[in-house]
Amino acid sequence: MDRARAGRILAELVSAYGRTYAEEAGIRLKDTPQPLYRLLVLAVLLSARIRASVAVAAARALHESGLDTPRRMAGADWQVRVDALGRGGYRRYDERTATQLGDGAELLTERWGGDLRRMRAEADGDAGELRRLLQEIPGLGPAGADIFLREAQRVWPEVAPYLDGKALSGAERLGLPKDPGRLLGLAGDTEPAVLAAALVRAALDKQVTEDSLRRAA
């Protein structure tokens, strides 16, 4: 594929689908404890085998229930967490996830004072170490850590550019290079977090791929 067409495909993809999952969940991401914690919760929810739209709705429901800090999440009754997840449609994994969110909030509070910026400081600018530390959170495996870092690179510049395997599989579906450097070059001034989110949407939804290719034709 020539560079001009590849650039058009990416431009169409980002124009139509370049919305981060944090934005979709109503998280105004900043390098402060509460939005970072809400992003962590979203990453836990998105990492289950469930539709992204359901995970986003569940993240919103938890926020609306006031479970938007580690202290509040850990202090809430287990059934309150289950009910909030259920209101978001997150029913298949609600009981297990309610337990994981409570345990994760307790760990985050005990080890990092409820502040993910302390985890960031512990990693000392090493994205690989940060990815490893994130996986200590219950319910957050390699895929969940990648989800968090894809979005967090917007406010943690040392992580960027972060295009993980899921984002690169989206590029492959679009017939684009799977090399992060080449993709960033084709994307122009698009933020890496936005590019990553758009590519992930292409990986997850065949319609996104087909629509982007059609628009770029």
Q: What is the pTM for the complete model shown?
A: 0.95
User: Tens of pLDDT along 87-101?
Assistant: 999 988 889 999 999
Give the pLDDT score at 57.
Answer: 97
Confidence class of residue 1 from pLDDT cuts 50, 70 and 90? Answer: confident
User: Tens of pLDDT along 55-88?
Assistant: 999 999 999 999 999 999 999 999 999 999 999 9
Confidence class of residue 2 from pLDDT cuts 50, 70 and 90? Answer: confident
Average pLDDT, the chain: 96
Give the pLDDT score at 92.
Answer: 81
**Above 80 in pLDDT, residue 110?**
yes
Return the HEC string of the chain: CCHHHHHHHHHHHHHHHCCCHHHHCCCCCCCCHHHHHHHHHHHHHHCCCCCHHHHHHHHHHHHHCCCCCHHHHHHCCHHHHHHHHHHCCCCCCHHHHHHHHHHHHHHHHHHHCCCHHHHHHHHCCCHHHHHHHHCCCCCCCHHHHHHHHHHHCCCCCCCCCCCCHHHHHHHHHCCCCCCHHHHHHHCCCCCHHHHHHHHHHHHHCHHHHHHHHHHHC
Q: What's the whole-number mean pLDDT along residues 168-180?
A: 95
Q: What's the whole-number mean pLDDT along residues 160-181?
A: 95
Q: What's the whole-number mean pLDDT along residues 29-34?
A: 98
